[in-house]
Structure 1
Amino acid sequence: MNHDTTAPSGAKSRLSTHSVFGAPCWVTLTSRDLKATEEFYSAVLGWQWRPARLGDHFRIALAGGAPVAGIAAVAAMWQMAVAWTPYFAVASADEAASRVQERGGTAAVGPISLPPGRAALLADRDGATFGVWEGELFTDWETWRNSRPAFIRLHTRDAFDAAMFYGEIFDWASDRPGCCEVEYDGDEVLLRSQGDVVARIESGALEAAPDPTIRPHWQVHFAVDDVAACARAAELHGGSVLSESEEEAVLRDADGAQFTVTARGVEH
């Protein structure tokens, strides 16, 4: 699975998920072809690359020298879907996986040990896939949170039901110090960590829809300076544009993984 593409070596001391928990802390991409993936995201998002601990199929994506995502070219080898997946910080990956299963979700992979932590790939009861990570954070928490290289949004059947499900998994809106706060904003649910919106949950996805873009799923957004330029670069490098506005475009990469680019500075 693709969660472990990120564990950096020789990194300075960082916070762990035992002190920062319940919020998204990383995103990963499972792809088929590493070279094609590198070329596509270098052209569209300007990323650079460095090796990961797990070998030749794995890379760390860098933006401005800072780690922003993990890439694993194992979709065909491990018979996994090509997709972007968000990971949430948890104090215990085993406990989080148990909570998911107790509440009608599923555990696809793990929890498994990946020093310096543990991880699992899970799905909620509507089929949206997400991961959990326990251990040292992959990059400095304040840098990752404040630079906002990524933002996530859950498109689901019922936002309020989903918020209850995830809230019970991740101790949202609990009495635990430092937990994420939940705010209801019309038809959406906002997740805040240390005052900042870090995720949104919205209703309207159709559970049995033949089109995967409208089935329940977590959508990963990347902040960019020029949405139109990213969309044109995606088309030129084998991807496609599913929708486009001045502030946002939904794209597919050359492998079929869906993601969104959002104009930097736009309120999520």
Structure 2
Amino acid sequence: MNHDMTSSAGSTGVVSTHAVYGAPCWVSLTSRDLETTEGFYSAVLGWEWRPMRLGDQFRVALADGRPVAGIAAVAGMWQMAVAWTPYFAVRSADEAAARVQERGGTAAVGPISLPPGRAALLADRDGATFGVWEGELFSDWPTWRRAQLAFVRLHTRDAFDAAIFYGEVFDWASGRPGGCEVHYEGEEVVLRSDGDVVARITSGALGSAPDPRIRPHWQVHFTVVDVAACARAAEEHGGSVLSLDPEEAVLRDNEGARFTVTSRREH
């Protein structure tokens, strides 16, 4: 689930999803074994780790001393897939889950209480999985967002249709303070929060027919200095390289979760 939100409780300057909503606010990995997961991502991405109040199976990953992602070794215990998932800030997790179901999506887990907030794991009507979080964000969330240590892209069959679905769920382009704006740039739908690009939706050329071969999914990207070095480290530590070019690599970790590393210079 959205694992580090408890760490900002009681701190000053906390940003709430009631003030900022509709944008990706965190990325999280469900794994089977915490020790091997930590070892893999430490080797590949150079992450360090911080414990969490939620229990011994939860950790926060730090990149350059800044929180970048959450890890929960609960895939076996909760019968969940080993996978990376983006979480979006919402004013009400219950309302977001209801909107998803009303529009043909599904609610896989929750909403459930994870003090100081509520979370749910959902899927859009094409099957792409994502989460929502209602409550406190990082006290330094604007810095996390602008640092672009992690960003997300939806690969789907019809970017325009997906933008409508998520726009209705998250109030995109509503014009309300704290909300997100949607733009069409090139062949992608681009989501901006306070001017910063926070997510992209792609299906190829927007004027073309939907591609039936695409299995819709949210892909989590981590920005790195050396893409090739990350790919080599992934193979050396039990993972695999699914695709590789000088600026980007799609990798599979040692438990099967897919993620992308992208050159920091390019994003």
- TM-score normalised according to structure 1 size: 0.93
Taking the TM superposition and a 5 Å limit, the aligned residue runs for 1:160-175 are: 160-175=160-175
Percent identity between the two aligned chains: 76
What is aligned with 1:118? 118
1:3 Cα shift? 2.2
Deviations 1:23-42 (A, max 9, x none): 00000000111100000000
Describe the shift of the 1:58–1:112 C-alpha distance in structure 2 as closer, same or farther (beyond 3 A).
Answer: same
1:6 Cα shift? 4.6
Contact 2:252-2:258 at 8 Å conserved across structures: yes
What is aligned with 2:207? none
What is aligned with 1:241? 241
Deviations 1:93-115 (A, max 9, x none): 11111100100000111111111
Taking the TM superposition and a 5 Å limit, the aligned residue runs for 1:63-102 are: 63-102=63-102
State the alpha-carbon separation in 2 of the partners of residues 256 and 139 from structure 1. 32
State the alpha-carbon separation in 1 of the partners of residues 135 and 9 from structure 2. 15
What is aligned with 1:42? 42
5+ long unaligned stretches in structure 2: 205-209
Describe the shift of the 1:117–1:225 C-alpha distance in structure 2 as closer, same or farther (beyond 3 A).
Answer: same
What is aligned with 1:3? 2
What is aligned with 2:105? 105
Q: Secondary structure at the match of 2:17?
A: coil
Contact 1:6-1:69 at 8 Å conserved across structures: no
Contact 1:29-1:83 at 8 Å conserved across structures: yes
1:206 Cα shift? 5.6
Deviations 1:154-186 (A, max 9, x none): 001100000000000111001312311111124
State the alpha-carbon separation in 2 of the partners of residues 73 and 261 from structure 1. 22
Q: Secondary structure at the match of 1:228?
A: helix
Moved over 4 A (4+): 204-207
Taking the TM superposition and a 5 Å limit, the aligned residue runs for 1:249-264 are: 249-264=249-264
Describe the shift of the 1:9–1:165 C-alpha distance in structure 2 as closer, same or farther (beyond 3 A).
Answer: closer
State the alpha-carbon separation in 2 of the partners of residues 124 and 140 from structure 1. 29
Describe the shift of the 1:156–1:182 C-alpha distance in structure 2 as closer, same or farther (beyond 3 A).
Answer: same
Deviations 1:10-68 (A, max 9, x none): 66221111111110000000011110000000000110111111211111111122211
1:231 Cα shift? 0.5
